[in-house]
């Protein structure tokens, strides 16, 4: 009994020592190995103690081959692309300018009875205009836009004047220097969205209503979310999934104003932080195949010792490493690294090099999305330059299409909505860095989740916002200053495959 107690005690000491071992981080790949400045590590819980001892005994054997390994995401695998601040172009005094007064004021390619929009600017942006352009399709006057393609109509979203200045409701510009151009929040189911701040009497009336999610829906409110039966200040009840872009917190701290000029109670929303995933810039085209760890929990790391698989550490979500081979250890498929460590195949997604499609020219930029692996690789000709995880359409109903498409629209942000099989309806405001390539399918940033590597969208390809922003500015098609969207592109190729 005394000998057995001593063995357990020694094993416990080994386990705690291994867990508390100091770690250093390699510059590329986020690999941590024993032997540097100590860091705080949570003490193992009592649950599963014997199993932990056995695992750590195995880990101690693995230590003989190089020490415990922790795979962690690099702190800055890629950085924000520097771009000019968003704003209206400078217009010399006395020159005519077009002041946008619609939320989306369209710029058209040319006059016509059914003119095609080449892009749009948001309310409050001013554009320099030049000469009058003759043609049908405008009840006012067509004007040529200086410094950018297209024409604008003086009675279709724009006021033309040499002294035009923004008046009325302030329109917050996007912060293009950040991964998230706005602050975002998720509304509690059933929360109210209002046209304006309520008066004292309206506030008293609203305070009598149950908080969102409590009790049964108000029978006076239509199931579509209309505000029938409620004070006229209410635009709608947000039944379903609603994600909001916020402008500011109003004085008093009780209400947020949204980017679109509506109002919601602060207590009815939950702020959404920026997702943590950052992709990998590939130096001189090297680094593929690259294995990305995904999932909500750490994945186990193994070594082979004396022909047996033994625990060797842990791999954190979104860590990555160069793949050596796919093989099987003790009946479990694993993805190995050159130094012999391995992660279960079920816990990694693999970004691989693929051949350039024939339609893509040798010097073209193009993007490959592997819908089986849920990975994306960006190429310049034959050279891969960037790799990351994505989340594409879930199930057959929302399947992302395969094929080769040119990117046709780019939006700094745009609002998306539609039916949802679980919530009934969804509305997502100001989806950042949206790049449409086919019908309503797009690559875009997703600020509402951090589960990249899993399918979950309504058909679009979700990216971490910082990755979507990188693609937005790397891909073909530069937005003129002050523009929120550019359309009618024949831009960067998007190649989506399965199998």
- Look up the CATH number of the domain holding residue 140: 2.30.30
Note whether 141 and 190 are same-domain residues: no
Closest CA to 212 of 182, 185, 187, 231: 187
Note whether 493 and 374 are same-domain residues: yes
CB of 443 within 8 A of CB of 463? yes
* Dihedral angle, C-alpha 403, 488, 81, 481, nearest 10 °: -170
In-domain check, residue 92: no
Q: Give the domain range for residue 302.
A: 2-67+289-349
In-domain check, residue 459: yes
CA dist., res. 86 & res. 472, Å (int): 15
Note whether 391 and 424 are same-domain residues: yes
In-domain check, residue 14: yes
CA dist., res. 378 & res. 302, Å (int): 31
The tens-digit pLDDT sequence of the chain (499 residues) is 444 444 334 344 434 333 333 333 333 344 443 333 333 333 334 444 434 543 444 444 555 555 678 999 988 788 898 999 998 898 888 899 999 999 999 999 999 999 999 999 999 999 999 999 999 999 999 999 997 789 999 999 999 988 766 555 678 999 999 999 999 999 999 999 999 999 999 999 888 887 765 544 443 443 445 555 788 999 999 999 999 999 999 999 999 999 999 999 999 999 999 999 999 999 876 789 999 999 999 999 999 999 899 999 999 999 999 999 999 999 999 999 999 999 999 999 999 999 999 999 999 999 999 999 999 999 999 999 999 999 999 999 999 999 999 999 999 999 999 988 888 999 999 999 999 999 999 999 999 999 999 999 999 999 999 999 999 999 999 999 999 999 999 999 999 999 8
Note whether 248 and 306 are same-domain residues: no
Note whether 311 and 190 are same-domain residues: no
Note whether 262 and 345 are same-domain residues: no
In-domain check, residue 386: yes
Chain CA centroid to CA 481, Å: 24
Q: Would you state the pLDDT for residue 284? A: 76
* Percentages (nearest 5) of helix, strand, coil residues in the chain: 10, 40, 50
The whole-model pTM stands at 0.85
Note whether 228 and 294 are same-domain residues: no
Sign of CA dihedral 236, 237, 243, 244: positive
Note whether 475 and 385 are same-domain residues: yes
Q: Would you state the pLDDT for residue 422? A: 84
Q: Would you state the pLDDT for residue 197? A: 97
Note whether 373 and 472 are same-domain residues: yes
In-domain check, residue 393: yes
Domain count, the chain: 4
CA dist., res. 387 & res. 399, Å (int): 22
∠ Cα 270 272 273 (to 5°) = 140
Q: In which region does residue 64 sit, left (phi positive, over 0), alpha (psi from -120 to 50) or beta (all else)? A: alpha
In-domain check, residue 309: yes
Note whether 468 and 406 are same-domain residues: yes
In-domain check, residue 28: yes
| Biggest distance spanned by C-alpha atoms of the chain | 100
Note whether 38 and 63 are same-domain residues: yes
| Cβ partners under 8 Å of residue 114, min gap 6 | 137
Note whether 415 and 491 are same-domain residues: yes
How far are the Cα atoms of 34, 64, 340, 355, 462 from residue 329, in angstroms, in the given order?
Answer: 25, 19, 12, 31, 33
In-domain check, residue 175: no
Q: Would you state the pLDDT for residue 169? A: 60
């Amino acid at each position: 009994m005394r000998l057995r107690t001593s063995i357990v005690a020694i094993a416990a000491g080994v386990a705690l020592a291994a867990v508390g071992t100091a770690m250093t981080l390699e510059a590329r790949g986020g690999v941590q190995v024993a032997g540097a400045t100590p860091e705080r590590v949570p003490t193992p819980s009592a649950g599963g103690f014997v199993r932990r001892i056995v695992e750590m005994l195995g880990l101690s054997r693995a230590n003989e081959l190089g020490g415990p390994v922790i795979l962690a995401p690099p702190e800055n695998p890629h950085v924000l692309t520097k771009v000019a601040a968003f704003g209206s172009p400078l217009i010399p005094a006395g020159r005519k300018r077009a002041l946008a007064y619609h939320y989306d004021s369209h710029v058209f390619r040319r006059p016509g009875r059914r003119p095609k929009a080449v892009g749009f600017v948001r309310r409050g942006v001013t554009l320099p205009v030049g000469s009058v352009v003759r043609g049908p399709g405008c009840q006012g006057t067509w004007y040529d836009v200086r410094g950018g393609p297209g024409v604008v109509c003086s009675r279709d979203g724009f006021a033309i004047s040499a002294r035009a200045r923004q008046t009325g409701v302030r329109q917050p510009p996007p912060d293009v220097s950040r991964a998230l151009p706005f602050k975002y929040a998720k509304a509690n189911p059933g929360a109210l969205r209002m046209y304006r701040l309520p008066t004292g009497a309206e506030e008293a009336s609203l305070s009598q209503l149950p908080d969102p999610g409590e009790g049964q829906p108000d029978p006076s409110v239509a199931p579509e979310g209309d505000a029938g039966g409620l004070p006229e200040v209410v635009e709608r009840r947000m039944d379903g999934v609603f994600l909001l872009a916020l402008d500011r917190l109003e004085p008093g701290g009780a209400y947020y104003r949204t980017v679109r000029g509506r109002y919601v109670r602060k207590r009815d929303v939950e702020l959404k932080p920026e997702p943590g995933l950052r992709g990998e810039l590939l130096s001189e085209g090297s680094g593929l195949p690259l294995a990305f760890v995904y999932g909500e929990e750490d994945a186990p790391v193994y070594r082979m010792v004396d022909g047996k698989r033994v625990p060797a550490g842990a791999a954190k979500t979104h860590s990555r490493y160069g793949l050596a081979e796919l093989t099987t250890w003790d009946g479990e498929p694993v993805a190995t690294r050159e130094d012999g460590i391995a992660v279960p195949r079920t816990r990694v997604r693999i970004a691989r090099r693929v051949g350039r499609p024939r339609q893509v020219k040798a010097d073209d930029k193009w993007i490959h999305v592997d819908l089986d692996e849920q990975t994306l690789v960006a190429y310049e000709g034959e050279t891969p330059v960037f790799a990351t995880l994505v989340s594409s359409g879930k199930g057959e109903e929302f399947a992302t299409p395969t094929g080769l498409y040119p990117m046709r629209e780019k939006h700094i942000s745009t609002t998306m909505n539609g039916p949802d099989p679980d919530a009934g309806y969804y509305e997502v405001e100001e989806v950042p860095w949206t790049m449409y390539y086919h019908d309503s399918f797009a690559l875009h940033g997703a600020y509402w989740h951090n589960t990249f590597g899993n399918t979950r969208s309504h058909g679009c390809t979700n990216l971490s916002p910082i990755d979507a922003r990188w693609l937005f500015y790397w891909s073909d098609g530069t937005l003129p200053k002050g523009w929120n969207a550019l359309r009618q592109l024949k831009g960067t190729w998007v190649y989506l495959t399965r199998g």
